[in-house]
Amino acid sequence: MFRSAALCLYVFLLTASQGLAEGGAVSIPETGIEGVYSDQVVISDHRHHVLVGHVIVVTRDTDTVRALVIHHRRDGVHRLRYAEAWDSGVELPYRSTARNGIGCTHGHCRDNQVGMIFLSSAMFDRARTQGLTAHLTGPAGTIDIAAPPDLFVEAATLAAGI
């Protein structure tokens, strides 16, 4: 899992665009990494915190990693930290990326990293039809997120093209 997380983080840092980013592809021949990332959309419009997310599908050799990558639209006041993600009483494979201190994502410094929810093949397939809802919990409290199905469909479509 650590190797998969490192692979995702590497590609996560390479996806660059402005504002709410559009999807695209990344290829790093030196490392054998191929991947895609979906558009970035608002996944939680809480009255105090706006969270945005995008889906990545990354491959290297025979390893494939799928994840919902979560960012906090910086508000100048809060730096959100979450430790877990839950859906209907089930803990999801979540990894916080807030401690890495890399505040710039998608080519600008308006977002702070929050974390990633890793998706098994079955979870990814379900998200393509139902989307993904979760409760993030941790030192920053609890916040609900909802990633729409079309985000996962877009990532799957882009991944099919590589």
pLDDT at 100: 59
Residue 9 has pLDDT above 80, yes or no: no
When computed from its CA atoms, the radius of gyration of the chain, rounded to whole angstroms, is 14
- Among the residue ranges 11-25, 61-75, 83-97, 139-153, the one predicted with the least confidence is 11-25
> Band of the pLDDT at 26, cuts 50, 70, 90?
confident
Please give the model's pTM, rounded to 2 decimal places. Answer: 0.83
Can you tell me whether residue 43 is helix, strand or coil? strand
The mean of the pLDDT values for the chain is 82
Closest-CA residue to 161 (of 9, 57, 17) = 57
- The residues spanned by each domain of the chain are 2-160
Q: For residues 52 and 153, what is the distance between their CA atoms, to the nearest angstrom?
A: 17
Average pLDDT over residues 114-137: 96
139: DSSP letter: T
pLDDT of amino acid 38: 93
Give the model confidence (pLDDT) of 103-112 as tens digits. Answer: 444 444 567 7
pLDDT for the residue numbered 113: 83
